[in-house]
Structure 1
Amino acid sequence: MKFRIMYLEDKSKGLNGPARIGRVRLSKTGETLYYGGRTFEALRNSGLKANFSDAETGQPFWIAKARKGGDDRLYKGAGDPPVIDDDVREEYWRDVRGMPDPVGG
């Protein structure tokens, strides 16, 4: 299985919904993602501002590889900063952002 640190934003709560940074498991094709006991399936031509949906609830999400600059939101400038999962915090700041954790771990 392939794992990647990714940005996950819940679009059912609005254009700038609650967001997380965490370790996501990808299927071989990348069309299915697994995170936090949930399964996400890729959306095609949904018309929503989302690219995945929860396979069980249909809840829309924007899920993308975490960016070096931290500008992960689809719509910039609004919404709370993402919650970073404890198990990826050090790796996220070191390997994705290229800097030390600003809160010291």
Structure 2
Amino acid sequence: MLKYIELKSGQNDQGPAWIARVKLSKSGRTVYFNGKALKRADGKGISANYFDLETGEEYWVSGVKKNGQDRHWAGAGIVWIEAGVVAEYLQNIGAEEIDTRRLKVIADLPETEIDKFRDYENKPLE
């Protein structure tokens, strides 16, 4: 599944951002991305809808917009897109090529070790 992911903590809508393939937990409340587990914030975030389970950093995670304008209207900066998702992304937005003014193609990001986080979340309270 393709998602737009942007680091929000301390970034003023200009944090690093990616278009990447993610995996979802069975409940859909956790997004696994780039070695991280991003948990749904349920209204607890200031400008984000997910937080990193390990660091607490806040992220905005959303579907990819058909018009290609994934950044917040007040935000700026290049969005990194995984090489392995370019064709699917272009098909989703109905374009023939990447807009290099907005996007930079990067190597595919590492997958997340889901079992590590499943164990972390399910460990008994002490």
Q: Normalized against structure 2, the TM-score is what?
A: 0.72
| Residue type of the alignment partner of 1:6 | K
Which residue, 75, 86, 90 being the options, matches 1:78? 75
Query: What secondary structure is seen at the aligned counterpart in 2 of 1:22?
Result: strand
Q: Give the strand-richer structure, 1 or 2.
A: 1
Query: What secondary structure is seen at the aligned counterpart in 1 of 2:9?
Result: helix
Residue 100 of structure 1 is matched in structure 2 by 96
Q: Which deviates the most, 78-87 or 31-40? A: 78-87
Contact 1:15/1:49 (8 A) holds in 2: no
What RMSD in Å do the two structures reach over aligned CA positions? 1.9
**How many correspondences in the alignment?**
100
Structure with greater Cα Rg: 2
Looking at structure 1, the residues matched to 56 and 77 of structure 2 have their Cα atoms a distance apart, in angstroms, of: 23
Contact 1:18/1:79 (8 A) holds in 2: no
| Residue type of the alignment partner of 2:3 | M
Per-residue CA distance 1:45-98 (angstroms, 9 max, x = gap): 21410000111101100000111111222x31431131111111121112x111
The gaps in structure 2 that reach 5 residues or longer are 100-104, 106-126
Moved over 2 A (4+): none
Residue 41 of structure 2 is matched in structure 1 by 43
Contact 2:45/2:58 (8 A) holds in 1: no
Check 1:58–1:47 CA distance in 2 against 1; reply closer, same or farther (3 A cut): closer
Q: Give the helix-richer structure, 1 or 2.
A: 2
The gaps in structure 1 that reach 5 residues or longer are none
Check 1:70–1:77 CA distance in 2 against 1; reply closer, same or farther (3 A cut): farther
Check 1:37–1:47 CA distance in 2 against 1; reply closer, same or farther (3 A cut): closer
Which residue, 7, 11, 15 being the options, matches 1:10? 7
Contact 2:2/2:22 (8 A) holds in 1: yes
Q: Normalized against structure 1, the TM-score is what?
A: 0.85
Query: What secondary structure is seen at the aligned counterpart in 2 of 1:89?
Result: helix
Contact 1:32/1:39 (8 A) holds in 2: yes
